[in-house]
A = this chain, B = another copy of it.
């Protein structure tokens, strides 16, 4: 059972890396970047959140820079996006689901890593969130734009809820594997429902 959970999470992780790398490299192409810029944006979007989380937690060097399968997957996905850009413009909808799966997997793995280092509720939520959405923030900042997660959609909020639920379950003494899988599923499902129903957070109007 544990190995099945591991397998599902690992698979979800790779789906996330690929979806995030495609999103980053497409942004780079739209911004008129060259091949290097496209690879950097794909890599940063897929792995920059995890690298930032590792820096905050004091894990050095960051796992995403020394464990090769993750970065190679991100770079390969970015390179293929560069080569076959026009084909990728037609996969918007499936890509959003892949992105939601990756979002859940990144949230659960980030929250779990933070808990193992310091079981502080704020740290677990922050690191879960940064792991999942930090890459997108880096992508937007390198593209000279206000990070999209700060302005609209119910995206980071799903991650915050998923990380918080992870903390509560783990704190209550659940097995770590169930905590992870539940946090992963809740984040992903919340994100998909939010897309379907076009949920938005409130804004201050008339400013």
Q: Are A35 and B202 in contact (CB under 8 A)?
A: yes
Which candidate, A11-19, A56-64, A98-106, A167-175, is the interface stretch facing chain B?
Answer: A56-64
0/1 string, A20-37, CB within 8 A of B gives 1: 000000001111111111
Contact (Cβ within 8 A) A29 B61:
no
Which DSSP category, helix, strand, loop or mixed, fits chain A's interface?
Answer: helix
- Are B65 and A207 within 8 A (Cβ)? no
Chain B residues near A55 (CB, 8 Å)? 55-56
Contact digits for A183-201, partner B, Cβ 8 Å, 1 yes 0 no: 0000000000000000011
Whether B35 lies near A123 (C-beta < 8 A) is: no
Cβ–Cβ contact B204 & A66, under 8 A: no
Would you call A207 and B30 a contact (CB within 8 A)?
yes
Once the chains bind, are A85 and B204 in contact (CB under 8 Å)? yes
Q: A51, A61, A202 — which one has the most chain B CB atoms within 10 A of its CB? A: A61
How many residues of chain A get a CB closer than 8 Å to chain B's CBs?
57
Contacts of A147 in B (CB 8 A): 37, 142
The interface residues of chain B lying within 8 Å CB-to-CB of A32 are 151, 203, 207
Number of copies: 3
Structural contact, B144 and A61, CB atoms closer than 8 A: no
Contact status A62-B56, CB under 8 Å: yes
Cβ–Cβ < 8 Å partners of A166 in chain B: none
**How far, in whole Å, are A62 and B120 apart by their CA atoms in the complex?**
12
Asked whether A4 is an interface residue with its Cβ less than 8 Å from the other chain, the reply is: no
* Binary interface encoding of chain A residues 128-167 relative to chain B, with 1 for a CB under 8 A from any of its CBs, else 0: 0000000001000111111101111000110010000000
In the A-B complex, the 5 residue pairs with the smallest Cβ-Cβ separation, listed nearest first, are: A37-B150, A58-B60, A34-B201, A35-B201, A66-B120
Given contact pairs A37-B150, A58-B61, a sample of 17 additional A-B residue pairs in the complex whose CB atoms are under 8 Å apart: A28-B150, A29-B204, A31-B150, A32-B151, A33-B151, A34-B201, A36-B157, A37-B149, A51-B56, A56-B60, A56-B65, A61-B114, A66-B118, A66-B120, A68-B120, A85-B207, A142-B150
